[in-house]
Structure formats: structure tokens, C-alpha cells
Amino acid sequence: MRILKTFFILIFFISLGQVKAQDSSLLKMLDDSIAAVKKSVPVTGTFKGTKIIDLQSVEAPAKNVLNFMIQHRFGTINQGAYNLFGLDNATMRFGFDYGITNTLSVGVGRSTFEKMFDGYLKYKLIKQTEDNALPVTVDIFGGLYYNSLKYDSKPYLTSKYRTTYTAELIIARKFSRNLSLQLTPVWIHNNLVATTADKNNLFALGMAGRLKITRRLSLTAEYNYLPSGQVNSFKVYNSFSAGVDIETGGHVFQLHVTNSQGMVDPVFIAQTTGSWGAGNIYFGFNVSRAFNVAKKTKQL
Amino acid sequence: MLKNTLLALALLVICNAGRTQLYITTNGFAGFYSKTPLEDIKAENNQVFAVVDVAKKSLAFSMLLNGFVFPKELMQEHFNENYVESDKYPKATFTGAYTDDVDLGKGQEVTLHVNGTLTLHGVSKPVATTATLHLTGGVLTGTASLQLVPADFNIAIPGLVKEKIASKIDVHITINCKPRNK
């Protein structure tokens, strides 16, 4: 009788164990099938902003999202206390980016420098996937820049001479949740250059990275290498910038220091006259805000 | 006494050997809704994996968190990157059971009390909810509604957006399962 009772208790516990096992085996069954169909999900959030600092990133607004960005670059820090370390001399650019589709976006902007208008298209060729079937995200970028300064004494400066083009291939990889790197070969075509010693077609390589330090804060840096011998009539430096990105909901705040005051590609890549060594460093920021402009879908 | 014990034993053995009767789906629905005066947020996932064993009265759910679709793409990115951290914790899972004495064979909707464990964002919590099951034409339809508190799952909501995200999130589940291997 006692043995029987012990046996009963034993069986009872075994049965309990089996109920538990059943639960996890059900889940395991689902996990096996989830793994089997897990699609190659595209990687998101390679960078926080559509610009890393000055350089275009692989990011673009999603379909029907309008992104408004204000960029400021103050004067050089080495101007001293009289000019409040450059804060008295600000130049700015503001621009809009709009997602026509999830892969194609269009942007327009206006800069203080040369009263320049810019317009561009950015198209996503491939998207990096979680399973690394595609290891990188690649965008193609085409921009047009128009100098609208008045040159009263030079009426022959027609729009043809005021225009510059750029074409870029933007290649980026999110290596981990914290580290993203980007390479951007750039071609710039100036319809007009300062002297015959300067080349109309310029080639450069942009390099940039992001290191995320908390969920909403990251460090960024970019270096735009312009091989020498292309711009000769004035001393041009390679543009180097470093900063932090702070993300709060629909806003991205980017604070940085840079030796470039220009904020559009032909300017900061090929017309950077400031040098880090001489202390020609500008403090600046980009602030962007995303707006959803899609018609509200009817709530059920 | 001996007779009774033997009977109980036999019953247990039968239960253990128990026939399983599995109903399964790979495109169940899960949606969550956050309502505040400032902002309504919704996200829906139509790729929920679920299995119900009506013989053993146990069930399990599993879903990929990046399968939740938001009307705003930026919200979806923030959800995955900042809140549920789907790169670290890609799935939400639930295993549970019900003990209600119900007869699905009548083809009527029955209400059950489900107890189980929900795992989300690396945190496992016991969850109890009511659910319905309805077996018609070989298809087992189940629904459940529950409320979840993000803080319970270690999901931090920064002060800046606290007003925009409800402290309790409504979750709705609907599954249409077919018998397995039939």
C-alpha cells in the first residue's frame, strides 16, 4: 500500500514535468517554423540623420515623410571672445527632404553662402539585410547647386556658369547596433572654376562613421578627402568634422565642430579653407524634424 | 482504496499518453494600441505564430517584434531600436494553459481563462487573461485582449514622450488555426 502511494506520488510528479515539457515543446515547434520563414529583414537606423554632419548619409525620409532641417555654422572659434568665439557670425542652410517612395527622396535647400539653392534626388539601390545576404546599403545621389549672388559688374555670369553638379555613391554598413561606417565616392562638376588651374571635374572620397553610446546618443565623425592637384588657385583643406547626435522622438539634434563652414557638398568638399591646425574650427548644429504628411487613414 | 488509487493512476497515465490535438497558424494577428490625449499609437503584426493543443488545453505564441507595422515609419524604427530592442530580443513569446471545462465540439464560442508566461524584451512575466475559442468547420478561432505595462518588461519610456505613450497598452490577439498534419 505504501509502495503504491509512493508510486502514485512519483507518477504525479512525472506527469507535472511532462505538462511543463509540453508547453516548451509547443513553443519550440513555433520557433522552428519562425526560423524557417524568417525573412531577410532590412537593417534600419544605420544613421540617425539624413546627413551625418555635412555629408549625405544613406538615410532618407520614408514615403510621405517630410523632413525639415536647419543647419547653422558659426564663425571660427579662434575669433576669440570679442566675436563670442564665432557665435556672432552665423551662416545657415535650411532644407526639406521628402520621401516620394520608400526608396526615392527629393530634397531642396537654401544656404547663406553664395545665396545658394540646392536640389537633389537620393535613390536607394540596395538595403543591407539582417542575415547579411546583402552586406551594405547603397544609395545613389545626384545634386544640383545654383549660386544666386548678384554680380552686377559681370552680366555674362548666366545660370550656366552659376551651376554645379554632384553625383555620389553612398555605401554604408551597420556593423553592429552601435557601429556604422560609410564610404562615399563623390564626383563634382563645376561649370565655372576660379582660374584655369582649377579642374572642372573633381573627385573626392567621403568617409564617415557613427558610434552609438546610448540608445539616443551617438558620436559621429566624417572626413572628406579631396586628392590634391584638383583645386589649385587657393589653398583647400580636407573637411573633417566630429559631433554628437541626440535623438528625441521626431527630432534629431546634431552638434559638431568642423573646419568647413559650407553645408552643401561642392562647398564643404572642395572649398574648405579652414584648417584644424590653425584653429579655423566652426561650431555648428543641424536640427531636423520629421513630419508625416500622408492623408490620415481612416481609423476603424 | 486500492481501487481508487489504481483508477487515478490509470487516469494519469492515460492523460500523459494523451492524444494531442494541435491547431496551428503562421499568420495570426496581434495589435497593440496606446491611447493618450496627445497621441494615439497603433501597431499590428499579421505574422503571429500560434499553436493550440485542445486536448492538453495548452497553447503557445511566438512573433517577431520587427513584424509590427506602424503607420509612421519613424515610430517603427524607434519601437525596434529604442524600446523593445528587437536586435537583441527579436521575439515575443507566450506559453500558457487553460483549465476550463469546455466542449469545443458544440461549435459554439467558449470563454476561457488562460494562465501563462509572456516573454518580451528579455523579461518573463506571468500573465492571466480571458480568451475565447470557437471551432467551426475545422478552423479554430481564438481571440484575447489584455493590457500590458511597458515598465513590467523593462521597457523604459523617456520623460520627454511619457505623455504620448499610455502607461497601459491594450493588446488584441486573433488567431485562425488549422489542424496540424491533416
| Contact (Cβ atoms closer than 8 angstroms) between residue B176 and residue B139 | yes
Domains parsed from chain B with CATH numbers: 20-179 (2.40.128.110)
Judge: B15–A12 Cβ closer than 8 Å, yes or no.
Answer: no
Judge: B60–A34 Cβ closer than 8 Å, yes or no.
Answer: no
Judge: A26–B88 Cβ closer than 8 Å, yes or no.
Answer: no
Of A189, A198, A207, the C-alpha closest to A144 is A189
Interatomic CA distance for residues A15 and B11, integer angstroms: 11
Residue-averaged pLDDT of chain A: 89
**Residue range A82-138, pLDDT digits in tens:** 888 888 888 999 999 999 999 999 999 999 999 999 999 999 999 998 888 899 999
- The pLDDT of residue A219 is 97
Of A192, A119, A115, the C-alpha closest to A160 is A192
**Residue range A30-44, pLDDT digits in tens:** 877 777 666 677 888
With beta carbons under 8 A apart, name residues in chain B contacting A30. 49-51, 60-62, 93
- The pLDDT of residue A215 is 84
Architecture of the domain made up of A65-292: Beta Barrel (2.40)
Provide the CB-side half-sphere exposure for A283 (13 A, CA).
Answer: 11
Of the candidates A15, A177, A294, the beta carbon closest to that of B12 is on A15
- The pLDDT of residue A17 is 47
Cell of A32: 522552428
The amino acid occupying position A106 is V
CA B121: distance to chain centroid? 15
- The pLDDT of residue A232 is 92
As to burial, measured by CB atoms within 10 angstroms (0-12 exposed, 13-18 middle, 19+ buried), residue B152 is middle
**Residue range B33-87, pLDDT digits in tens:** 999 988 899 999 999 999 999 988 999 999 999 899 998 888 898 899 889 998 8
Cell of B100: 476550463
Query: How far are the Cα atoms of A175, A180, A221, A238 from residue A211, in angstroms, in the given order?
Result: 10, 7, 9, 22
Of the candidates A8, A29, A249, the beta carbon closest to that of B51 is on A29
- The pLDDT of residue B39 is 86
Could you give the 3-state DSSP secondary structure of residue A258?
strand
Which stretches of chain A sit within 8 Å of chain B by CB? 1, 4-5, 7-8, 11-12, 14-15, 18-19, 22-24, 26-27, 29-31, 33-34, 37-38, 41, 44-45, 62-63, 65, 102, 177, 215-216, 248-250, 290, 292, 294, 297, 299
**Residue range B74-117, pLDDT digits in tens:** 889 889 988 999 888 989 999 999 988 888 888 889 999 999 99
Cell of B11: 487516469
Interatomic CA distance for residues A268 and A55, integer angstroms: 9
- Confidence tier at A299 by pLDDT (50, 70, 90): very low
**Run of H or E including B24:** strand B22-35
For chain A, the maximum distance between any two Cα atoms, rounded to a whole number of angstroms, is 117
